[in-house]
Amino acid sequence: MSAEATNPVSAADAAVTDTTARRRGRARIDLRRLGRAALLGATAGPAPRDRLPDAISHVAEAHRAHHPEADLAVLRRAYVLAESSHRGQFRKSGEPYITHPLAVTLILAELGAETTTLTASLLHDTVEDTEVTLDQVRREFGDEVAYLVDGVTKVEKIDYGAAAEPETFRKMLVATGNDVRVMSIKLADRLHNMRTLGVMRAEKQARIAKVTRDFLIPLAERLGVQALKTELEDLVFAILHPEEYENTRALIAGNSHAGDALDAVAEQVGAVLREAGIGAEVLVRPRHFVSVHRVRLKRGELRGCDFGRLLVLVAEDADCYGVLGELHTCFTPVISEFKDFIAAPKFNLYQSLHTAIAAPDGAVAEILIRTHRMHTVAEAGVVALGNPYVGQEPYAGPTPPPGRPAPAAPDPVPTPDPQPEDGERVDPTRPGWLSRLLDWQQSAPDPDTFWSSLRAHLAEDDEITVFSADGSAPGPISLPAGASCVDAAYAQHGEAAHGCLGARVNGRLAPLSTVLGDGDTVQLLLAQDTVSGPSPEWLDHARTAAARIAITGWLQAHPEAAAAPADAGPRPQVNVPADRRSGAVLHADLDGEPPAAVRPAGCCTPVPPDEITGFRVRGGSVTVHRAGCAAVETMRGVGREPVTVRWGDTAQCRVTLVAESFGRPRLLADLTEAIATAGAAVVAATVEPPSEQRVRHTYTLHLPDAAGLPALMRAMRDVPGVYDVNRARRRGRAEPRDS
């Protein structure tokens, strides 16, 4: 993992940050101060067998601070192999290459990583960049170290060409699904490379920074490694947004004493807690560069308290709520800022109480309340959990690159019972987002689809949890915020969701487009036949990559489901039922383009013999509007070209009508009688509860002849108490989104 050399964040910036941190006693793992001191003696030759080489003495010191009983002999052996194999290799800055794995290992040691992770981080580039083989690593250090090293080893560019980078990420994510320590090493590796990126060409710096922003920073957030995430954000900010970065740096430097306001609040908070008999440590946490930039965009001019937050550390969970009670009693709380991530931890293991109080000068001071253990996990995430696999079965061998055969498995080793039923290691750190990612990546047909889907997947910030109403799911279903019933169907049933007909959400029938909320119960209704498939419009409602990839794959494999065979001639036509459950047919002339689905717009619900016009929308389908619909002018205004559409010969149609009436006895019976007399069949009907003596009826009707629609609407208006009847208009946006 290649060599770069100078930090885009200047030494002056680091000095400002370090000085501020020391003055206010910041309880943050400060990775910026870790550097060349650990690299002294890196090329001084092998050390005596009875002590560690000088080059990794700093690593050993940091490691023993978290793991006093750790056996350091294996670190010595790993360093000797790494130094000898990288000897003669240099980074682009001119430094010996061994300085890179040493720096990566020191980062992880400061975060509290256990010995196996540190051993693998020392060796993480040996298989990729030297003559050392994976079998040699396995023989010398065991299967776990070999698995971790293989997980972060890039696939060969000669084999994959332009697809090497996405396929490397795919391989790494699959390995992470079986051991999250793989991604811990990769994040530390990228952090050191980002720190030393200054010798690269500007365009390469920007490319690496964008990949870091789109993929590795979201992964650091999801794994809870905030100490790595915040520094990566600042480094990317400096490269991709140099002007905003410089403005923020100048703002922080020009307000070096602005934090005195927080110091004063910290003293008041500490006095209140001492008086209440609560043992707590109150610290000031200055915001990092990106955080200051975001706060400035949100609040405009910044005041002293905006440059940081207070951190209150206590011993027990119950003390957190005791602190909260004292703060809300003795100060004026800002209730809108309160969040309880202890009772409901975030999906990345994060736990804290968040609140805010009004300072004496009217400024708002944000406060984080957590235990010391919560703070360690908040900073180091999964790295702080040590080895979550102790007592489980050993590795079956490293994950091979995609498309390559797996190496021979090592001899089996006795393992404790019970064994996991699916043969995978039970991972207490594997959250729902990672399981979903591992599920859909198997279906990504090509590297480009995987790359774009991964970017979209990682852009999802929040999660919701829904539950199966009928017990068909083995446990809660984790979905991204904004997910719909379509996403729940594919998350629960996989490809069987192709036949999903509808859903019950919290006991009530709901369309598949329904957006789910946290805690909802969902019962998905599946077709009994095996030929049912998804509609193209499901793509409009699918939020998860798994659902979108599955739907797209089915539609590509069944083009006849979206369109009937095209007519002969130079102008392909699409003949699709205007409503899939009726016989009204629409024709669209597409000037030689591939056939597409044709459907009536929900905003104006056209039926024969309405004058109509069509527009191409997502996925190449055509949405048909009445000529007078407001959406037509909107689409023309944004440059959409209309498509020629016309009704077919079939006269029957389905239409939804809304009747507005005053409440009275027998009204429903009289309306349905008028509908039946006009020759229409009621497909579905809803009656809303009366409001101010007014009642709203919605009927979906099947008409044998669309020409009878005006007469039907007149007959319904003639029913006593009915004062208006109109075609239904769907609430919401006036037009579909572009593809």
Single out the catalytic residue among 110, 129, 233, 537.
129
Q: What is the pLDDT of residue 446?
A: 66
Single out the catalytic residue among 18, 30, 128, 263.
128
Half-sphere exposure of 286 (CA within 13 A, CB side): 24
| Tokens coding 127 | 């298989």
- Is 610 one of the annotated active-site residues of the chain? no
Query: What whole-number distance in Å separates Cα of residue 145 and Cα of residue 131?
Result: 17
Contacts of 261 (CB under 8 A, 6+ apart): 303, 304, 305, 359, 361, 363, 365
Contacts of 702 (CB under 8 A, 6+ apart): 582, 652, 653, 654, 680, 681, 683
85 has pLDDT over 80 = yes
SS3 319: helix
- Strand pairing class (500-505; 521-526): antiparallel
> In the beta sheet, which residues pair with residue 333?
357
Q: Mean pLDDT, the chain, as a whole number?
A: 75
277 has pLDDT over 80 = yes
Q: Report the range of poorest mean pLDDT among 157-161, 561-565, 597-601.
A: 561-565
Query: What whole-number distance in Å separates Cα of residue 582 and Cα of residue 704?
Result: 10
Q: What is the pLDDT of residue 514?
A: 87
Q: Element (H or E) spanning 712, and its range?
A: helix 709-717
Binned at pLDDT 50, 70 and 90, residue 167 comes out as: confident
Query: What whole-number distance in Å separates Cα of residue 79 and Cα of residue 103?
Result: 12
In this structure, which amino acid lies at residue 219?
L
Highest mean pLDDT among 38-52, 397-411, 664-678: 664-678
Place of tokens 């205004």: 637
Condensed to tens digits (0 to 9), the pLDDT of residues 151-161 reads: 888 876 555 66
Binned at pLDDT 50, 70 and 90, residue 575 comes out as: very low
| pTM (predicted TM-score) | 0.60
Condensed to tens digits (0 to 9), the pLDDT of residues 215-270 reads: 889 888 888 899 999 999 999 999 999 999 999 999 888 887 766 888 889 999 99
- Is 129 one of the annotated active-site residues of the chain? yes
Which is higher by pLDDT, 24 or 561? Answer: 561
Rg of the chain over CA atoms, in angstroms? 32
